[in-house]
Amino acid sequence: MKQMCKYALVQFMPFVETGEFANVGVIVCAPKTNFWEFRLAPKRFKRVTDFFEEMDKEVYKVAVSKFKEEMELTQKLALTRNVRDRVDFFAEITRPRQALLRFSNVRTMITEDPARELDALFERFIHRDFVTEQYKEQQMVTALRKQINAEKIPVKYVEQKMKVGVREFTIPLTGVTNKGLKLIKPLAFDQKRPTQLFEHGETWFNRLKALLDEGRVESQNILLPVDAAKNLKGERREALQEVNKLFEREDIMVVNYAQKGKIIEFATDIVH
């Protein structure tokens, strides 16, 4: 029998100022059948600790451990309530909070099997089987835009569509300065296959090269903050090296995405 379920993702956000977070769990409630379950990522979760590399790994470990205890207590309390009270209790538990671990907005779904949906949600949002480089790059853009805005730079960086011949693409961070047009395009390289990794880099090289050839932008006014998986080895590592050679050939600047100071310096260096 199909029934209404509510669910929310558990998000780990160690640095509020950047707005960056990682999904580390999910909680599902089916009020009519007394289903209230949650799943959390392990206390040793390399993907999260690698992403927040400047964070002490113990911070995540302790936060998840305490949060699990809290959720186990919550689960026991929820199962003693009636249907209506359980709905209200779920809303109260998942309300916005200022903490390392918080919940996403509550979402609703219709399903015949809440337990199966819990597993599917966990695989999708925590094991990230849905993630593409576009998704990750959008997260990078969001964080950079917030940081640039916080610096109160006297030029606004905005998304801009570019068209060169038959090519049409979007640059997420562009600013018109007294040095001409400046472009910032974050790139994520954690593709599973070396061919995919190289093709992603080559695609953006060709787009930027087309802008350079038409004189729309100077090479020194392009910055590529790159986030590459730390475990790149063998052919994947070689593919990234080949991508970097392409950009070097046109004097396009590439920096590590973690080097926020260099990114802000590039964006700020506009008035003399």
Compute and round to an integer the Cα radius of gyration of the chain.
22
- For residue 180, the SS3 value is strand
Same-domain status, 85 and 202:
no
Final residue before a domain boundary, out of 125, 149, 165 = 125
Average confidence (pLDDT) over 233-237: 90
Q: What is the CATH number of the domain that holds 182?
A: 3.40.1350
Q: Which of 25, 1, 13, 240 is nearest to 133 (CA)?
A: 240
- Pairing label, strands 35-40, 167-177: unpaired
In percent, the amount of the chain with pLDDT more than 70 equals: 94
Is residue 45 very low, low, confident or very high in pLDDT (cuts 50, 70, 90)?
A: confident
Amino acid at 121: L
Contact 10, 23 (CB under 8 A): yes
Amino acid at 225: P
Same-domain status, 7 and 25:
yes
**pLDDT tens digits, 118-159:** 999 998 888 764 455 667 888 889 889 988 888 888 888 999
Between 55 and 215, name the one with better pLDDT: 215
**pLDDT tens digits, 58-107:** 899 999 999 999 999 999 999 888 888 888 999 999 998 888 999 999 99
Contact 265, 253 (CB under 8 A): no
Residue 33: domain span: 3-125
Block residue for tokens 């209200």:
88
Give the list of residues 6+ apart from residue 98 with CB closer than 8 angstroms, or none: 16
Same-domain status, 16 and 112:
yes
Same-domain status, 85 and 121:
yes
Residue 22, pLDDT above cutoff 50? yes
- The first and second tokens of residue 58, run together, are 């113990």
CA distance 164 to 268: 27
Final residue before a domain boundary, out of 71, 102, 125 = 125
Contact 110, 2 (CB under 8 A): yes
Same-domain status, 245 and 222:
yes
Query: How many domains in the chain?
Result: 2
* pLDDT for the residue numbered 229: 76
pTM over 0.75: no
Contact 184, 173 (CB under 8 A): yes
CA distance 45 to 24: 9
Q: How far is CA 145 from CA 135, 228, 267, in A?
A: 15, 20, 11
Same-domain status, 90 and 149:
no
CA distance 53 to 34: 40
